[in-house]
Chain A
Amino acid sequence: MAQHGDRVRMLAGGTDLLVQLRSGALDNVNVVLDIKTIPELNEVAYDPGDGLTLGAAVPCYKIYNNREVAQAYPGLIDAASIIGGTQIQGRASLGGNLCNAAPSGDSIPAMIALGGVANVAGPHGERTVPVEEFCTGPGRNVLQQGEMLVSIHFPAPEARSGARYIRFIPRNEMDIAVAGAGVSVVLENGTITSARVSLASVAPTPLFVREAGAALVGKPATEESVKIASEIAREAATPITDMRGTTEYRKHLCEVLTRRALLTAIERAKEN
């Protein structure tokens, strides 16, 4: 990496990178570094006390085919199982999805909702970055020259916690999210003790809507409470109009998806 500077990109699944290289979107890049051979980047380590450490290069299918992980983190599986399609999931990784930093990255709101923290390594050592701070603009992330994403760590799921990611797409698979909502809640005796709400495709980066989660704390886990949060989510969104949707439609979807996701997360929390 030191040798090639900004002419090199990390290659994990390649499902975004190769497309971008061929389209000419990355004209200055002419070297790819296959990181799939680095052991830490392929690790899936789950411990009920410690949580999940997910290597940056682990492809989606290995995540959802891992029974323990699937049981403990259904909110993550929601995202991993719908990125692209079956073949894409054979290669695409959540680490790659995060580093690609598309506003529409399906896994990113899911990871934010679960409190994911990115482990970064570079020439000056290691550091951690909360996932919600990782993306800095469309296609841009916090990695400095010479740094790479090694893994993402998720805290162990608490009792009575539930998480959910849903997106809206015009077809039933394959599409980029027009809008997406990743949420998590923790319940105690029917009251929400913590909540996180994150949105895809409605801002320059995936959006962590702190206020929406904060508005749920201490509230009963009911449709009324959820509605307050989903309205806040809609207000927080700043989508553009493009070929996938209009500003008005996307803001509207934020409310719908946040509400639906929260209701499911609450159900999952109750069953947990």
Chain B
Amino acid sequence: MPRKTQVQATINGEPMDFLCEPRQSLLEILRDIIGLTGTKEGCNDGNCGACTVILDGRVVTSCLVLGVEVEGCEITTIEGIAIGHTLHPIQQAFLENAALQCGVCTPGFIVASKALLDENPNPTEEEIRFWLANNLCRCTGYDKIVRAVQAAAATLQETTA
């Protein structure tokens, strides 16, 4: 059995410490070791986006990152999107626009959308769709998801204006 490595990383603003085998993905560590089960597994090969997290400021599919690679890194998962007791405008927009049905892709979409709006606060529909193309949804047909992101962008622009 391979020896475990100790890794220290900041997850949702909190310094954390865990042991993992080299073959364990960040997704596995988040879900099975740390207990943050909000990030989901849909394919384990980077093609569905359900495992999306933000790693050192950039969205990635956590299934294709090894736990041992995140030493010293900052990670944001769905559990870190709400602002304390208050939903992030993106989360609120998903609710108000009925942008989820089964909800399993929703954490990935919310994290990816937050990264988009952090970088591009006023994206066009095409830019939204292009950015989110690595996130699959089988229930909604994407219409209400795109509208939710547009609504969230508008809300965020109002509050920062």
Contact = CB atoms under 8 A, between A and B. Distances in A.
B134 A86 contact: yes
A87 B69 contact: no
A85 B133 contact: yes
A174 B69 contact: no
Interface string B40-59: 00001111010010010011
Contact of A14 (B44, B64, B112, B135): B64
B46 A32 contact: no
Nearest to B54: A90
A74 to B, nearest CB: 17
B25 A87 contact: no
Given A19-B64, A85-B49, A88-B46, A172 B134 contact: no
A21 to B, nearest CB: 8
B22 A87 contact: no
A34 B64 contact: no
B87 to A, nearest CB: 23
A61 B54 CA distance: 13
Contacts of A85: 49, 133-135
Interface string A188-219: 00000000000000000000000000000000
A130 B154 CA distance: 49
Given A14-B66, A174-B133, A88 B45 contact: no
A18 B134 contact: no
Contacts of A32: 22, 66
Interface residues of A, number: 23
Interface string B135-159: 1000000000000000000000000
Contacts of A59: 58
B3 to A, nearest CB: 13
Contacts of A91: 60-61, 64-65
A19 B45 contact: yes
A85 B45 CA distance: 12
Interface in A98-134: none
Contacts of A67: none
B104 interface: no
A172 B131 CA distance: 12
B107 to A, nearest CB: 13
Contacts of B59: 86-87, 90
Given A19-B64, A22-B44, A88-B46, A34 B133 contact: no
Nearest to A21: B23
B139 to A, nearest CB: 18
A35 B112 CA distance: 27
A239 B69 CA distance: 38
A91 B133 CA distance: 16
A133 B64 CA distance: 29
Interface in A1-60: 11, 13-15, 18-19, 21-22, 32, 34, 36, 59
A86 B131 contact: yes
B130 A90 contact: no
11 contacts: A13-B64, A14-B64, A15-B46, A19-B45, A19-B46, A36-B69, A85-B49, A88-B46, A88-B61, A90-B58, A90-B59
